[in-house]
Amino acid sequence: MLKKLYDTIKGEGYYTKSYEEFQDQYKDDKYIQKVFDTVSEEGLYTNSFEEFKSKYTIDPPKKKTNQSLLGGKKILRNLLQNRIREKMVLRTHHQMKKIYSLLEKL
C-alpha cells in the first residue's frame, strides 16, 4: 500500500525523489505526520491519522518463496549428479587403462 501512496503523491507533484528514498524518509514518525497532513489538506485522504498509519506501512521485505528454494535444490542436485558422472567416467577410464595394460602384456 505504501507504493500506492508514493505513486499518488508523486503523480500529484508533492514528491520528486525515488521510492527507496521515500521509504527511508517514511521510517520517521514526523515525516509520516507531514505526509498525512499534506494528503489530508489536499483532499487525497479523508480518514483519521491512525487509520492512515495502519494502512500505509513500510512494505515488509519479501521472503524467499518455496519456488526459489526449489530452484536452488535443483541446481545442487544437478551439480552433484554431474560430479558423480565425472567420477564414474574417470574411474572407467582408469579401469580401461589397466585392462589395456594387461592385454598388452599377454
Task: Kindly list the domain boundaries of the chain, sorted by start residue.
Answer: 2-55, 63-106
Query: In angstroms, rounded to a whole number, what is the distance separating the alpha carbons of residues 30 and 27?
Result: 9
The pLDDT assigned to 83 comes to: 86
What pTM value is reported for the model? 0.55
Q: What does the alpha-carbon distance between residue 11 and residue 17 come to, in Å, rounded to a whole number?
A: 12
Residue type, 35: V
Alpha helices, DSSP H, located in 1-106:
2-11, 19-25, 29-41, 49-55, 66-105
| 14 closest CA partner among 49, 46, 40, 38 | 38
Whether residue 39 is predicted with pLDDT greater than 90 in this model: the reply is yes
